A = this chain, B = another copy of it.
Amino acid sequence: MAANHAPAPFNPSTRVLLGPGPSEVPPRVLAAMGYPLLGHLDPEFVAMMDETQGFLRQVFKTENRLTMAVSGTGSAGMEAVVVNLIEPGDKMLVCVNGVFGARMVDVAQRAGADVHEINRPYGEVFDPEEVRRALAAIQPKLIGIIHAETSTGAWQPIEEIAKIAHEHGAMIAIDTVTSLAGVPVEIDAWGIDAAYSGTQKCLSCPPGLAPVTFSPRAAEVISTRKTKVQSWYLDMQMIQRYWGSDRVYHHTAPISMNYALREALALVIEEGLEARQARHMLNHKALKAGLAAMGLGYATAEGHQLPQLNCVLIPDGIDDMVVRKRLLAEWGIEIGGGLGAFKGKAWRIGLMGYGSRPQNVTLVLAALETCLRDLGAKVEPGAALAVASAAYSQAK
């Protein structure tokens, strides 16, 4: 390789990230990514890890000692929860109503679980009674369910199902990748045994870490396993010795990503969880009103629509990719396409974390109106913006 051949610089365009994640990252978090590095055993770094664990406990609303960030994205968090709680042959019940429930089935099967699943169509949520029947029939060690199904925008009520799981002796693990810091997540109040999340949704941190938390019962299950966790990298028995006071080296922590997560969590705490959730709800209502004024409805069942992930039916005669390509090319707006059964049929408009702002609601409504009108849809000019604006005025 010849020296001094300089590749062209990389200059990413500025995007308005209104898809299913990554979400927009606020300036303070971007700045933290660029701080000079500390070593992974530096006293200042491990003190920051302690602080981060405290912040995570506040955001997860838990006292769980075993609360930390796994060094991978949200899917690594899912795998960490499953492979640590499951030993080969253990029964696991998975509730599948979208791509991420189906992913959990796959992860659990690879972990050697005896996996049973119950299913709901895309866009629907599970009823506690159908979960009760499955639990009674299967008697699993663990039930896994998605709190916020990123593929459908479905917001699953958890509290009652957690209670039923415990009545049947099962532990419950929940996917909070898209829910954490956007809608209420109450690990202790609901009695959740394990939860994982991602950094790139309502925490508005770049992707790369997966916050996880395990109840004392789950921690006990992990510490009394008969078999080794199949993943060395995700083995919580070893990882907790690094995050705990022993500080035993396991793997080199992603230093900069942990800086960013700390800063993102600090911003959540400064804003206040309840205020942040209210902000997500307000911007959702304005968006939803605006979409309705253009004749756009949700693919997700009424009453179970996540404020931070709006899964919208694409109108008949409108081509998914034509619209998404124009949004990106003309306004730099990224919205998500449908996944799985919703591919080509729905858009996913994320209003997550820092991205959940009135100017983004206004921009995406204005851009969508332009696209739809140019494609011949009957959309009254300005109606969407007027109702969205009214939604903000009413909230004042």
* Cα separation A251 to B199 with both chains bound (whole Å): 13
Contact check, A44 vs B12: say whether CB atoms are below 8 A apart.
yes
* Cα separation A13 to B260 with both chains bound (whole Å): 16
- Minimum CB–CB distance for A68 against chain B, Å: 15
* Cα separation A3 to B198 with both chains bound (whole Å): 23
Q: Which residue of B lies closest to A40 (CB)?
A: B22
Name the interface residues of A21-72: CB closer than 8 Å to any CB of B: 21-22, 24-25, 30-40, 42-45, 48, 51, 55, 58, 71-72
A7 to chain B: which residues have CB within 8 Å? 51, 55, 266, 269-270
* Cα separation A230 to B34 with both chains bound (whole Å): 35
* Cα separation A229 to B79 with both chains bound (whole Å): 13
| A253 in contact (CB, < 8 A) | yes
Q: Which residue of B lies closest to A253 (CB)?
A: B207
**Residues of A contacting B: mostly:** loop
Contact check, B6 vs A266: say whether CB atoms are below 8 A apart.
yes
A299 to chain B: which residues have CB within 8 Å? none
A90-98, A102-110, A301-309, A374-382: which lies at the B interface?
A102-110
Name the interface residues of A105-135: CB closer than 8 Å to any CB of B: 106-107, 109-111
Contact check, B73 vs A251: say whether CB atoms are below 8 A apart.
yes
* Cα separation A263 to B9 with both chains bound (whole Å): 8
Which of A55, A200, A271 has the most chain B CB atoms closer than 10 A to its own CB? Answer: A200
Would you give 25 A-B contacts (Cβ < 8 Å), ordered by A?
Answer: A1-B269, A4-B270, A6-B270, A7-B266, A7-B270, A10-B259, A10-B262, A10-B266, A12-B37, A13-B44, A19-B39, A30-B35, A33-B34, A37-B206, A71-B72, A71-B73, A72-B233, A76-B233, A79-B231, A79-B233, A110-B228, A110-B229, A206-B256, A208-B208, A249-B339
